[in-house]
Amino acid sequence: MAASGRLDAKLTGANPIDVLIEFPKGASLYAPETLKTIADVHATVESRSRRRQRLVARKPCAAGLRKKAGATDVATLKQYVSVIPEHLVRRFISADQDAVLVSGRVPDLDSSEILPVVDKLDKALDKVARRASGLRG
């Protein structure tokens, strides 16, 4: 409960930044390249935070569980996702598993201050997109 309160306090007055990653037809959510791309997008959003851009990122279920639980095998990832309530999974993973959402927050700033943050993030994500063959972000 205390952790939830700290998170709420940190995000109060924050603006959302969402990155939608769409997989090519037939790509698997649990394929190594797909999971790597999700992790790379999350790391990029998170790195903006370390560069004093003050972004706070939320991981999609599979990528977050992979990192937090130390689970690297697909069976364990699928098991974790299967026990999370469906309505929560849908916040990050599309029903047909052909897209995921990586979300971040930037503190409530004047629009002239938010735009440079978003521009820098876009440029960094372009690099990730070029490395990910067939994925659209």
- The span from the CA of 100 to the CA of 93, in Å, is 4
Could you report the per-residue pLDDT of 91-132, keeping only the tens digit for each?
Answer: 989 999 999 998 887 777 777 777 888 888 899 999 888 888
Half-sphere exposure of 72 (CA within 13 A, CB side): 0
**Residue 10, token pair as written in the block:** 């940190």
- The span from the CA of 32 to the CA of 77, in Å, is 12
Higher pLDDT, 62 or 102: 102
pTM over 0.85: no
Residue in the structure block whose two tokens are 């924050």: 14
**Residue 135, token pair as written in the block:** 């994925």
**CB-CB neighbours of 61 under 10 Å:** 21
